[in-house]
């Protein structure tokens, strides 16, 4: 089937390039939520040029960590009366292996805003066809720890300044992802009014695009992730998996109408570079990479 697709976040001054895909199509979503991720972006763009592909990159404009939130998120389940609330240990890499010594020290001791580090590279990325979206509000960790139970007013205080800065830089329309897949329904109405045209806030191997209840936005799922919504290839490396990558690619391409893999620049340009390169090489032999915004025209209206 020939699929007529329009690309990333365009403004009135942009020319919407249209492409026709005749092979299966997938997307790669990368979330920028640490300084190591922000500093890895030039390598990520060089990688994309090497393979002739374009990524969908979501950036948090604020700070990576809420120290209170991180501590609370780890301790909260153990004070719950629900035994099931205690999380199972996910296969993931230690923080120092993903961020490196510099990244860990910078995050713990400085915790700087990410947007000043990433802005110029992301503008370059957008100019060459990558799709740029917003990832949460003014503090990634605060959203991940507390957004689900925040008051509407607290959520607005976290989201609105980030929206203003993001849209002033990149324009609209744009996509949005909630840190840690932690959602607050009130956010969707705010996002829609600000020019957001889709979100990606859940994981489903079936890949069914759904509507958000509030705001009426299409919700495009990630279709390849490990237990606990961990990056699949990170879990693959952490667990020293012996599963052939060919089998992973087969499953990825066959299970969903629009397959979406998600990761972070700190992994794909760092400790995971080799496995990510092999994964993308296998994928591009059989399918074509599109931005996530393309899913809106590829798979039709949500169920």
pLDDT in tens, 155-167: 999 999 999 999 9
DSSP secondary structure code for residue 93 in this structure:
-
**Helices 35-51 and 273-286: angle between axes, nearest 10 degrees:** 40
How far, CA to CA in Å, does 265 sit from each of 17, 172, 213, 236, 299? 26, 23, 31, 16, 27
Mean pLDDT of 27-35: 97
For 169-225, write each residue's pLDDT tens digit: 999 999 999 999 999 999 999 999 999 999 999 999 988 889 998 878 999 999 999
For 261-275, write each residue's pLDDT tens digit: 999 999 999 999 999
CA dist., res. 199 & res. 252, Å (int): 21
Domain range enclosing 119: 3-11+19-298
With b for 16 or more beta-carbon neighbours within 10 A and e for fewer, the 143-160 pattern comes to: bbbbbeebeeeebbebbe
What are 52's two structure tokens? 């002739």
| Residue 255 pLDDT class (50, 70, 90 cuts) | confident
Residue 217 lies in a domain: yes
What are 253's two structure tokens? 């391409």
CA dist., res. 259 & res. 203, Å (int): 11
* DSSP output for the chain: --EEEE-S---TTS---EEEE-S-EEEEEEEE-SHHHHHHHHHHHHHHHHHT---EEEE--SBS--HHHHHHHHHGGGGSS-GGGSPPPP----HHHHHHHHHHHIIIII--BSHHHHHHHHHHHHHTT-EEEEESSSBHHHHHHHGGG--HHHHHHHHHHHHHHHHHHH-SSEEEE-GGG---HHHHHHHHHHTEEEE---B-TT---EE-TTT--EEPPB-BEEGGGEEHHHHHHHTT--S-HHHHHHHHHHS-SS-EEEE-HHHHTTTTHHHHHHHHHHHHHH-EE--GGGHHHHS-S--
Residue 303 lies in a domain: no
Residue 191 lies in a domain: yes
Instruction: Inform me whether the pLDDT recorded for 79 exceeds 90.
Output: no
Residue 229 maps to which CATH number? Answer: 3.20.20.370
Mean pLDDT of 50-65: 97
Residue 178 lies in a domain: yes
How many domains is the chain built from?
1
Instruction: Inform me whether the pLDDT recorded for 8 exceeds 60.
Output: no
pLDDT score for 197: 94
Which position has the higher pLDDT, 7 or 74? 74
Residue 57 lies in a domain: yes
| Residue 297 pLDDT class (50, 70, 90 cuts) | confident
Q: 106 forms bridges with which residues in the sheet?
A: none
Instruction: Inform me whether the pLDDT recorded for 278 exceeds 90.
Output: yes
Residue 87 lies in a domain: yes
In percent, the amount of the chain with pLDDT more than 70 equals: 83
Mean pLDDT of 4-17: 37
pLDDT score for 248: 97
Overall pTM > 0.85: yes
């Amino acid at each position: 089937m020939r699929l007529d697709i329009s690309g990333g976040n365009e403004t009135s001054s942009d020319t919407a390039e249209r492409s026709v895909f005749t092979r299966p199509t997938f997307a790669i979503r990368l979330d920028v939520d640490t300084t190591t991720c922000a500093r890895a972006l030039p390598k990520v763009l060089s990688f994309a040029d090497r393979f002739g592909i374009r990524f969908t990159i979501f950036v948090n404009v604020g700070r990576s960590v809420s120290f209170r939130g991180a501590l609370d998120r780890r301790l909260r389940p153990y004070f719950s009366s629900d035994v099931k609330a205690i999380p199972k240990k996910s296969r993931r890499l230690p923080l120092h292996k993903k961020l490196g010594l510099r990244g860990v020290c910078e995050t713990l001791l400085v915790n700087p805003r990410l947007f000043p580090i990433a802005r110029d590279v992301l503008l370059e990325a957008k100019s060459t066809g990558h799709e740029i979206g917003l990832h949460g509000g003014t503090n990634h960790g605060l959203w991940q720890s507390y957004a689900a139970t925040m008051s509407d007013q607290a959520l607005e205080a976290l989201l609105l300044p980030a929206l203003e800065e993001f849209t002033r830089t990149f324009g609209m329309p744009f996509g949005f992802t909630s840190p840690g897949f932690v959602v607050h329904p009130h956010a969707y109405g705010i996002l829609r009014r600000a020019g957001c045209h889709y979100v990606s806030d859940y994981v489903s191997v079936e890949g069914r695009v759904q509507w958000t209840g509030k705001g009426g936005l299409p919700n495009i799922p990630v279709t390849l992730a490990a237990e606990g919504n961990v990056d699949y290839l990170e879990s693959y490396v952490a667990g020293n998996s012996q599963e052939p990558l060919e089998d992973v690619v087969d499953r990825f391409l066959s299970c969903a109408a629009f397959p979406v893999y998600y990761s972070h620049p700190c992994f794909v340009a760092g400790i995971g570079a080799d496995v990510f390169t092999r994964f993308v090489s296998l994928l591009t032999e059989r399918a074509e990479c599109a931005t996530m915004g393309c899913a809106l025209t590829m798979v039709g209206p949500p169920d």
